[in-house]
Structure 1
Amino acid sequence: MKDDNIRAALFMMLGTGAYTINDVFLKLLGSELPMFQILFLRGLVVTLFFGVLLWQVRDQMTGLARKDMGLVVLRSLAEAAAAYFFLHALFNMPLANLTAILQVIPLTVALAAFVVLKEPLGWRRMSAIMIGFCGVLLIVRPGAEGFTVYSLSALMSVAMITIRDLATRMLGRSMPSVMVAFTASCGVMLFGGLGSLTEIWAIPSALGWIWLLGATGFIIAGYYFVILAMRVGELTFAAPFRYAALLFALVAGWLVFDEWPDALTFIGSGIIVATGIYTLYREGKMRRIARLNAQAG
C-alpha cells in the first residue's frame, strides 16, 4: 500500500502539473484567438477523445438512472460556465493568483456538501474553511485597487466548479466516469460553439496551432493522471498533492509571463493550502471512523 500511495502522489502531481501547462498554453493562445473559439476548438478534440473511450465501454451504458442523467446535465452546464469564467480570469490576471484562488475549491465543496447534502462538518473543519476564505480575501482584496472584474470571474469559476463537484458526488456508482467526462466536454464544446457565433474567427499562426494542440493534449493528460491517482492509492493520501499546482503555476508564471505574486498573495496562498490540507485530512479521518463503526456494527 505504501508504494501504491507514493505512485498515487506522483500521478496527482503529474496531473496537476499537466493542468497547469494547459493553462499556460491557453493564456498564450488568448493573444491570438477569441475566447469562445478556443473553447470550441479545444472542446472538439477533447470530446472526440472521450467519445472514442465511451464507445469502448458502451455495454455499460444500460440502466442509467434518470436522476443521474439530470445531474450529468447540471454538471455539464456548470463545467461550461466554469470554463468561461476561468478563461476570462486567466487572460487578464496572473496565473499564480488565479491558481491560488482555485485551491479553495476543496473548502467550498466541503461547505456545499454540508449545506446541500447534510454531510457532517465539525467545528474544526468549519473553522479551517472560514480561515481558508480569509486567505482568498488576502489574494482578491475586495475594495482595494487590485480588485477587478477578473477577480470576480475567478470567484465565479470557483462557484461553478463547486456546483460541478457537488453534482459529481451525488451521481450513482453505476455512472461510468468516461460518460461524465464526455458529457462535460460536450457541454463546453457546444457552449464555445454558440459563443463563437458572436465572434470573428481567427486563423492561428503556426505557433498558435502548437499552443492549441498543447492545451488539448495536456488537459487530457491531466485528467488521465488524476484518475490514475484516485484509483492507485488512498485518496486521502494523494489529494493534498493537488496543491503542487500552485508551485507549478508560480514557476510557469515567472518563466513564461514574468509574473511574480506579492507578499499578501503568498500569505493568502499559504493559508488556503494549509487549511485545505487540514480539511482533507479531517475528512479522511472521519470517513475511516465511519467505516470502522459500520464494520463493528
Structure 2
Amino acid sequence: MGNLNENMRGAILMMAAMAAFALNDAILKALVVNNAPLQVIFLRGCVTLILVYFVLSRITGPVSFRMSRRDAKWVAIRSVAETCASLGIIMALSQMPFANVSATLQSTPLLISVGAAIAFGVPLGWRRLLAIAIGFVGVLLIVKPGPEGFSNGVLWALLGVSSVTVRDLSVKAMSSDVNASTVTFFAILCTTVIFGLSCIGGDWGVWSPRDLFLLVLVACAIIAAYALSVIVMKVGDISFVAPYRYTALIWALLIGFFVFNETPDIWTFLGAGVIAVTGVYTLIGERRMTRQIQTDLR
C-alpha cells in the first residue's frame, strides 16, 4: 500500500478492522448462547493477553510500560472506554439479533466525526458530512426503527456506541511513541481485570471443546481488530476514514445469513446498497481531490 495516499490506506485498514470486529462479535454471540457473557469476556481477555504479549508484540513492537504522562492518560481513557464498549456490546449481543446490534453500532462514525471536530478541530466539509448522513440513512433502512426494531438490549448497544467513539478518538490524541501492542495490551488488561472481578462468586458452567476452540478464535479476531483500529486512527483524516465503518454492515449481513440463518429483507439490501454507494462516492471524491491538488502543484 506504499503508493496509496494516507486517506486511502486508512479506508482499507478500516474495512479490515470492521471485518475483524464483525467476526469477533459473531463468535461472542455464539458463545453467550451457552455461557455467561461476563465470563466469556474474562476468559477471552486471559487468552488475548497471552497472544498480545508473545505474538502481536513481535509484529507491531514490544509492549512498553514506560510512556509520557500525557500518553498514559490517554491510554487509561482508552482502556476504560474499551471495557465499557465490551460490556455494552456483549450484553447487546445476548439480547438482540446480530444484525440489529451491528446496525446500531454503525451510528459511531457520525459521533466520531463530530467528536473529532470538537476535540481536534478537524474540519467537516459539507460533502463529507452529507456522505456520513446518507450512510446513516442506509443504517436506518436496515434497523427500521420502531418497537419491533429494538429489543431491551438497545441501551447496552448505545453504551457500546458511545464507548467506541471515546475509544477511537483517544488513540488520535496519543503520540506516535505509543505502539499498537502497548495500547492493545493495556486495554485488554483493564477489561480482563474488571470482568474477572465481576465473575467472583458466580456459577461457572462446563465449557465444551467447541466453546474452547471458539474462545481461542475470538481472541485472535479481537487482537486483529484492536491492532487495526489503533493503526487506522493514526492514518488519514478521521472524517474521511470514519464512513468506512459502515462496511461492518456488509460483514454483518453475510454472517447473519450464513451463520445465524437471518434472511435480509428488501429494505436491508437497499440499506446495504446505500452504504456501499456512499463509500464508493467518498473514495472517488477523495481521488479527484488528490488529482486536483497534484495538478495545481504543477
Q: TM-score range by the shorter chain?
A: 0.7 to 0.9
* Pairing 1:19-38 to 2, within 5 Å after superposition: 19-38=21-40
Query: Which residue is equivalent to 2:147?
Result: 144
CA apart distance, 1:202 = 1.6
CA apart distance, 1:120 = 0.9
Q: Distance in 2 between matches of 1:94 and 1:21?
A: 15
Q: Distance in 1 between matches of 2:260 and 2:83?
A: 26
Give yes or no for the alignment of 1:154 onto 2:126: no
Are residues 75 and 276 of structure 1, via their aligned partners in 2, closer, same or farther at CA, if it must alter by over 3 Å? farther
Which 5+ residue runs of structure 1 have no aligned equivalent? none
Residue range with higher mean Cα deviation, 185-194 or 9-18: 9-18
Describe the superposition over 1:134-183 as per-residue Cα deviations: whole angstroms up to 9, x where unpaired.
Answer: 44444445543322232332232111101001101111111122110111
Query: Which residue is equivalent to 2:186?
Result: 183
Equivalent pair of 1:97/1:261 in contact (CA under 8 Å): no
Describe the superposition over 1:270-294 as per-residue Cα deviations: whole angstroms up to 9, x where unpaired.
Answer: 44454456567767888x69x98xx
Number of equivalenced pairs:
292
From 102, 106, 110, the equivalent of 1:103 is: 106
* Pairing 1:162-241 to 2, within 5 Å after superposition: 162-197=165-200, 199-223=202-226
CA apart distance, 1:242 = 5.8
CA apart distance, 1:207 = 1.9
Query: Which residue is equivalent to 1:42?
Result: 44
Query: Which residue is equivalent to 1:260?
Result: 263
Give yes or no for the alignment of 1:117 onto 2:104: no
CA apart distance, 1:73 = 0.5
Q: Distance in 2 between matches of 1:242 and 1:136?
A: 11
Q: Distance in 1 between matches of 2:167 and 2:229?
A: 16
Describe the superposition over 1:246-283 as per-residue Cα deviations: whole angstroms up to 9, x where unpaired.
Answer: 33322221222211233444444444454456567767
Q: Distance in 2 between matches of 1:111 and 1:7?
A: 22
Residue type at the aligned position of 1:46: T
CA apart distance, 1:10 = 7.8
Which 5+ residue runs of structure 2 have no aligned equivalent? none
Are residues 114 and 227 of structure 1, via their aligned partners in 2, closer, same or farther at CA, if it must alter by over 3 Å? closer
By relative contact order (CA 8 Å, sep 6+), the higher-ranking structure is: 1
TM-score by length of 2: 0.78
Q: Distance in 2 between matches of 1:208 and 1:59?
A: 29
CA apart distance, 1:26 = 1.3
Question: RMSD of the TM alignment (CA)?
Answer: 4.1
Give yes or no for the alignment of 1:128 onto 2:131: yes
**What is the identity percentage for the equivalent residue pairs of Structure 1 and Structure 2?**
38
Describe the superposition over 1:80-100 as per-residue Cα deviations: whole angstroms up to 9, x where unpaired.
Answer: 111111111222222233223
Equivalent pair of 1:138/1:268 in contact (CA under 8 Å): yes
CA apart distance, 1:41 = 0.3
TM-score by length of 1: 0.78
Equivalent pair of 1:103/1:272 in contact (CA under 8 Å): no
Q: Distance in 1 between matches of 2:86 and 2:161?
A: 10
Q: Distance in 2 between matches of 1:137 and 1:99?
A: 12
CA apart distance, 1:30 = 0.6
Residue range with higher mean Cα deviation, 222-231 or 80-89: 222-231
Residue type at the aligned position of 1:105: T
Q: Secondary structure at the match of 1:149?
A: coil
CA apart distance, 1:16 = 4.0
Are residues 102 and 283 of structure 1, via their aligned partners in 2, closer, same or farther at CA, if it must alter by over 3 Å? farther
Residue range with higher mean Cα deviation, 156-165 or 14-23: 14-23
Equivalent pair of 2:117/2:124 in contact (CA under 8 Å): yes
